[in-house]
Structure 1
Amino acid sequence: MHKHTLIILGVLFFACSCQDSKRPEEESAELKTKQALQGEWALVTSNETEFDDFLFYPTGFAIQKDSFELFEGYYSDVYDTIKLQELYKFWGTITSYRIRQDSIFIQSLVDDQWEFRWKINDIDADTLVFEEENASESKYYRLKYKLDSLVDFDQIVYSSSGCYGNCQILDVSVDKAGNIIFQGEGYVEPLGFYQGKLSTQETKYIFDKFEKANIVALNNDYSASHTDDQSITTSFIKDGKIVKTIHDYGMTAPKELLWAYVPISNIHHLHQLDTISTEEPYYPKLHYFTFRKEGLILPLEKSESFYLWTELRKSAFTQTTFKPKYKLTFSGNYTYWGPDPNENYKPKGKIKSIQSDGRFYKIEYVKGKTIIYDLGYNFVERNLKPERFRKAEEWER
């Protein structure tokens, strides 16, 4: 028995020694795989520039050291039992990952559990082939950017209009200093006006996302062929001037722009925001500012309208008299057809008229109160091309 025991122990020792000797090799192989995975990757699709589908969202990810970034982000459903609305909780885009032999595991941001993501079938310098959980294959290609050659904006204003459904209605302004101005209008918590502050790293993350989309090279308009979807408008400001505004109906813009929407549109989920106590200057809920002159109109995009409001917030009050050139009215949000999510919102005053010469804005309230804002510059001349003025349609008069 003693002899047999020694033999068994010897075999076990040999087996354990073999396993121990393999561990460095396995670790070395996993390290090489991690190094090969470093960078940003996008799913190869039949159409890489437009996604004209309600349910399709471009898939991409980045791996940096031990972090895994899913460009689409992580979400969970939430039902508001008071307002009887289906909402969602955004958990972020960046989590941890592990490689075990030939498989990638991701740590869920929702419950911290480790989940199988892919089996690696093939990998080279610019191509990845994964096997999904259902045994189907997916192919990814490496993304490459030259950020130092792109325009560096000072401020980004993002707005979403809502849709025939529960798409969120909101406005977000973020500048290079990390200052946030937020308005929740519908299907989002919180409702109302808020402000906050991002860290330097968080600010850089948002701006880098948009820079990778090469904004200046993009079209001004993108549109899906289906109906009842939301419009997303984004304005980019450099040196106090709107350099470009992109109108994206149905999220059909290139994938990099769609990925850039994710962190800025969900900024209220991850950051503490403080209530803006004053409602002035007046902001038209579910409406946008429209400049009118001599029978012509220039309706602002939602993001441009919110940008004008943020600029008026910084303006000084004045008693200066000026010769009005424009009348400001409000155009309706015609992509949202649901009930008014702000039905309980009661503005402090009702607007009688707004007049402006581009620099000064005289807001007259029904009950006689009048406020004049001095913007310090001509908003129309600086930001809006003259050819954008057009004849009003019958329903716009």
Structure 2
Amino acid sequence: MKYLLAVLLLICICGSACNDKQQANEKNILGNWIKVRNKTVSTGKNVVLEPPEYEKPGFIFYADHSVDYKLGFFKNTNGINIFLGTKSKFKIMGNNLMILDLDSNKWNNYRLIKLTTDSLQFLFDGRLATFKHYQIKKNNTPEFDQIILSTLGCFGTCSVSSTMINADGSVLFNGLFYTTKKGLFTGSITKVQYKQLQDNFRTTDFNLLKNYYNVAWTDDQTISTTFVKNGKIYKSVNDYGAAAPAQFTWAYAPLRCLYQSINLKSATNFKVVSHFNYPYGAYIKTANMDMALTQSETFLLFYYLQKGKISTVTFKSRYQLSSLFDIQKRHHIDTDGRFYKLEVNKKPVIIDIGFNFFDINEKNWHWRKITK
């Protein structure tokens, strides 16, 4: 009898301890988490490595057991990634963190190594992933009038597309390769949606953002993003291999895949679609200087040209504009920054965009001297 009572007491103590630990885990995991690098952990002859550096996951865990997975959930259909969103569910069962995969509708199980108020560690595909709590800091990044995000290809099935969203909710999308929609389309979103997509980027302090980011490997994707304020380019960020700050890169997926979740109409009323569709950016040249626009800056200029008016004015050309990889300059455009002379159906056409695109944005660009 004494033995039975001792066993029951031990079970109660263990149960109470387990319950206390469960409650502590569910409390400690709440909030914002960002991945950090950790020292290599050695266990005898074996070394537990952390996930590759190019992966920059982040989470927000909520008290209602919902989770915001910042990299997003996807399913791959015929080589094209379909965005399923960032919001899912989670639960903690003993020493396991479980997150519902939106693609398979199954729970992914991650063994918890450590969970405190300031540190989260779990095994991810046999590798040790370490996260720390972070707070979203207020900064002086303004609200934008337009945001343009463009993606380039890679050695694989990376999408090649451009998406522009405007503060009034209008959307312009151009799908080229590995997208579910191919061609130029227009659509719309609500102002609430625009604010959310914009604020995803604004969690980063733009004063600390560089214009260019690169990784040390090859064959990765370049994502360029341009932000417009009061008719001028406020900032352009060209990011190769997602080397930019994690909180900035988290904003990519919801915007680049926006076209998959809204109604789109083919843009049939645009005048020079086939004559200025430079998917890899534009190359600008003067007599002795040259410069390359990013893909997103090029798409912004493309938008201005579509909105421009046919003109008969005579102007003096200051620049020659061509596709970045069109070495023979077969489809070049002569321009002074405001007026653009190009060929449409083998006839010269002059487009007036109403302002000088190059002069008002000159501070954003770096010219280089042409050498033999």
**Structure 1 residue aligned with 2:340:** 361
Give the SS at the match of 2:109.
Answer: strand
Q: Give the counterpart letter for 1:316 in structure 2.
A: K
**Structure 1 residue aligned with 2:62:** 64
**Structure 1 residue aligned with 2:350:** 372
Q: How far off its partner does 1:204 sit?
A: 2.4
TM-score by length of 1: 0.75
Q: How far off its partner does 1:36 sit?
A: 4.0
Whether the 8 Å contact between 2:140 and 2:205 is mirrored in structure 1 is: no
| Closer, same or farther: CA 203–103 of 1 in aligned 2, 3 Å | farther
Unaligned 5+ runs, structure 2: 1-7, 40-50
**Structure 2 residue aligned with 1:261:** 252
Indicate whether 1:141 and 2:116 are aligned: no
| Closer, same or farther: CA 129–274 of 1 in aligned 2, 3 Å | same
Give the SS at the match of 1:146.
Answer: coil
Q: How far off its partner does 1:174 sit?
A: 1.7
Q: C-alpha offsets along residues 272-325 of structure 1, whole Å, 9 cap, x if unaligned?
A: 322212453232344433332223222211111001011222223333333332
Indicate whether 1:248 and 2:239 are aligned: yes
| Closer, same or farther: CA 226–114 of 1 in aligned 2, 3 Å | closer
For residues 159 and 326 of structure 2, the distance between their equivalents in structure 1, rounded to whole angstroms, comes to: 13
**Aligned counterparts, 1:109-188, within 5 A:** 109-117=102-110, 119=112, 121-124=114-117, 126-130=118-122, 138-188=129-179
For residues 63 and 230 of structure 1, the distance between their equivalents in structure 2, rounded to whole angstroms, comes to: 29
**Aligned counterparts, 1:284-295, within 5 A:** 284-295=277-288
Whether the 8 Å contact between 1:123 and 1:129 is mirrored in structure 2 is: no
For residues 185 and 391 of structure 1, the distance between their equivalents in structure 2, rounded to whole angstroms, comes to: 32
**Aligned counterparts, 1:178-327, within 5 A:** 178-281=169-272, 282-327=275-320
RMSD: 3.4
For residues 383 and 256 of structure 1, the distance between their equivalents in structure 2, rounded to whole angstroms, comes to: 26
| Closer, same or farther: CA 120–271 of 1 in aligned 2, 3 Å | farther
TM-score by length of 2: 0.80
Give the SS at the match of 1:228.
Answer: coil
| Closer, same or farther: CA 54–324 of 1 in aligned 2, 3 Å | farther
Whether the 8 Å contact between 2:30 and 2:60 is mirrored in structure 1 is: yes
Q: C-alpha offsets along residues 121-164 of structure 1, whole Å, 9 cap, x if unaligned?
A: 4321x333446686x75432112122353333322211112123
Q: C-alpha offsets along residues 82-126 of structure 1, whole Å, 9 cap, x if unaligned?
A: xxxx222221111233445665433332243444345474321x3
Q: C-alpha offsets along residues 249-292 of structure 1, whole Å, 9 cap, x if unaligned?
A: 22222212221212112222333322212453232344433332
**Structure 1 residue aligned with 2:362:** 384
| Closer, same or farther: CA 285–375 of 1 in aligned 2, 3 Å | closer
For residues 132 and 187 of structure 2, the distance between their equivalents in structure 1, rounded to whole angstroms, comes to: 37
Q: How far off its partner does 1:185 sit?
A: 1.4
**Structure 1 residue aligned with 2:5:** none
Whether the 8 Å contact between 2:73 and 2:102 is mirrored in structure 1 is: yes
Q: How far off its partner does 1:65 sit?
A: 4.3
Whether the 8 Å contact between 1:91 and 1:270 is mirrored in structure 2 is: no
Q: Give the counterpart letter for 2:61 in structure 1.
A: I
**Structure 2 residue aligned with 1:50:** none
Task: Please point out which of 25, 29, 33 is paired with 1:37.
Answer: 29
Tell which structure's C-alpha radius of gyration is larger: 1
Q: How far off its partner does 1:222 sit?
A: 1.4
Give the SS at the match of 2:86.
Answer: strand
Deviates more, 1:270-279 or 1:376-385: 270-279
| Closer, same or farther: CA 128–385 of 1 in aligned 2, 3 Å | same
For residues 208 and 279 of structure 1, the distance between their equivalents in structure 2, rounded to whole angstroms, comes to: 30
Whether the 8 Å contact between 1:195 and 1:276 is mirrored in structure 2 is: yes
For residues 166 and 103 of structure 1, the distance between their equivalents in structure 2, rounded to whole angstroms, comes to: 34
Give the SS at the match of 1:321.
Answer: coil
Q: How far off its partner does 1:60 sit?
A: 0.9
Q: Give the counterpart letter for 1:288 in structure 2.
A: G
Q: C-alpha offsets along residues 46-88 of structure 1, whole Å, 9 cap, x if unaligned?
A: 49xxxxx988311211123433111111122222xxxxxx222
Q: How far off its partner does 1:375 sit?
A: 1.5
